[in-house]
Structure 1
Amino acid sequence: MYMYLMKNEKPINKELIKSHVEYLRELKRLGKLVLCGPFTDYPGGMVIFFAEDLVEAINIAESDPFIASGCKSYEIRTLEPANEENNYLLDE
């Protein structure tokens, strides 16, 4: 599981927002999208998603219209989910 954190760099317009939403819908259709949304306390947002490896994760992030347009920069991170099924990563 990966995430990309986006930071606002340039203003966005309604058409770009529509393109971004369509991109998110396609990730959802492909079973890749986990969670996404804007930050309420920071200028930007994030997308959490599944990818086979870092190369695919970078490709997914850089294909997002917000990033491809240069309106947002990004940082990519890997994420290891902690949950009840894996005892919140507590190794006992």
Structure 2
Amino acid sequence: MTFVYLMKNLKLLNNEVINSHVEYLKDLDSQDKLVLCGPFTDYPGGMVIFLAEDKIEAIEIAEADPFIALGYKSYEIRTIEQANEENNYLL
């Protein structure tokens, strides 16, 4: 299943926590779980789109992100169903 966690800044970031977050994302990518991620340019936060077996695993993945685990960002998690011809969303 595909999920997204939307993050909102709670406190100023520092290089140490940013580097930890980047390493965490690299690890997700090496597990073929990372789909897309990045900061928002018009909102104080960012998002991570990723794959997980279920919502329980998705929450565990989001809460293990150093940005969230160390209290630098809050998050909301959502499940995404990709629109495609097979599910008739693009007809």
Shorter-chain TM-score above 0.5: yes
**Count of residue pairs brought into register by the alignment:** 90
**Corresponding residue number in structure 2 for 1:31:** 32
Counterparts of 2:26 and 2:86 in 1: how far apart (Å)? 28
Matched, 1:53 2:54: yes
Counterparts of 2:19 and 2:5 in 1: how far apart (Å)? 19
Counterparts of 1:85 and 1:18 in 2: how far apart (Å)? 39
Counterparts of 1:37 and 1:84 in 2: how far apart (Å)? 27
Q: In structure 1, list runs of 5 or more residues that go unmatched.
A: none
Normalization by structure 1: what TM-score? 0.92
Q: Percent identity?
A: 73
Normalization by structure 2: what TM-score? 0.93
1:46-85 → structure 2 map (5 Å cutoff): 46-84=47-85
> Which amino acid is the alignment partner of residue 59 of structure 1?
E
**How many angstroms does 1:69 deviate by?**
0.6
RMSD: 1.3
Decide which structure has greater helix share: 1
